[in-house]
Amino acid sequence: MSFDNKVAIVTGAGSGFGAATARLFAARGAAVVASDINLDGAEQTAAAIEQAGGSAIAVKTDVRRSEDMQALIAAACDRFGGIDVVVNNAGLGHRAAPMHELSEADYDLVFDTNTKSIFWSVKYAVPKLIERGGGAIVNVASIGAKRPRPLGAAYNASKGAVATMTRAVAAELARHKIRVNAVCPLASETGFFKTTGIEKLSDKARERMINEVPLRRLTEPRDVANAIVFLASEQAEFLTGILLDVDGGKGI
């Protein structure tokens, strides 16, 4: 799976799934734009890529903001001459609570970060992908988009919107040879948990979750990175509108 001469943007690349994905694209030959609201994290990812002999820049982006997303696409095109792959990964959860206990601010933060960000990304990246003659967009949804659980309703709904947007935009963009797919990961002990108010899973909670997974572990960032890089690759040239579960079989 080669991404030589390709340019990949990864949002939320300063941590977790995004950092692993950015590094894997670089290892497969892509020039990588590591974007995050946390510039330190993005810089660490870009530095690790450069140290390994790859090519990367770090860009500070708040994916909720139109101007930031426009600037991200412009930075990628200025530095690397265009874009081929966009991974919309930046996202967060809300504190574990029933929906009627969430504030408007909780709701808006989750929807703006997880869902509106993809509107901005599509709006500004697609013209550049069309200029290149095609490309791939991979969105990070969640298993919660398909199988919501209690205490995460707004989060699950925001990812449900990501899943529907993925399929709808895939249908719109196929004529431009732009494929649009999503991954739906199961829980992973990344920075994400902190956004739900859980600093660290207790051993008991982890064991309970693992016991529900046929492959008997939680998601690792490499699982998500492998799935994203595959969906963006030429090997997936006939796949679009796919919502790929990365869940160790839990959905079965």
Ligand X SMILES: NC(=O)c1ccc[n+]([C@@H]2O[C@H](COP(=O)([O-])OP(=O)(O)OC[C@H]3O[C@@H](n4cnc5c(N)ncnc54)[C@H](O)[C@@H]3O)[C@@H](O)[C@H]2O)c1
Helices (H), 174-214: 192-195, 203-211
Q: CA-to-CA distance for 123 and 173, rounded, in angstroms?
A: 12
Residues 14-43 contacting ligand X, CB under 6 A: 14-18, 36-38, 41
**Could you confirm whether 107 is annotated as catalytic?**
no
Could you say whether residue 185 binds ligand X (CB under 6 A)?
Answer: yes
Instruction: Rule CB under 6 A: choose which of 44, 45, 61, 115 binds ligand X.
Output: 61
Q: Which two tokens stand for residue 100?
A: 């009627």
DSSP-assigned states of every residue in 215-234: TSS---HHHHHHHHHHHHSG
CB closer to ligand X, 12 vs 248: 12
Residues 113-132 contacting ligand X, CB under 6 A: 113-114
Q: By CB under 6 A, which span of 118-126, 146-154, 189-197, 225-233 interacts with ligand X?
A: 189-197
Count of residues binding ligand X (CB under 6 A)?
29
Instruction: Rule CB under 6 A: choose which of 44, 45, 166, 190 binds ligand X.
Output: 190
- Burial pattern 116-153, b for ≥16 Cβ within 10 A else e, equals bbbbbbbebbbebbeebeebbbbbbbbbbbbebeebbb
CB neighbours (10 Å) of residue 113?
A: 21
CB closer to ligand X, 61 vs 166: 61
Name the β-bridge partners of 59. 35
Which one from 155, 156, 186, 244 is the annotated catalytic residue? 155
Cβ of residue 176: shortest distance to ligand X, in angstroms? 25
Cβ of residue 252: shortest distance to ligand X, in angstroms? 18
Amino acid letter, 33: V
CB closer to ligand X, 105 vs 238: 105
Contact 180, 139 (CB under 8 A): yes
Could you say whether residue 12 binds ligand X (CB under 6 A)?
Answer: yes
| 198: helix, strand or coil | coil
Cβ of residue 2: shortest distance to ligand X, in angstroms? 25
What residues act catalytically?
155
Query: Which residues in this chain contact ligand X in the complex, by CB under 6 A?
Result: 11-12, 14-18, 36-38, 41, 61-64, 89-92, 113-114, 140, 142, 185, 187-188, 190-192
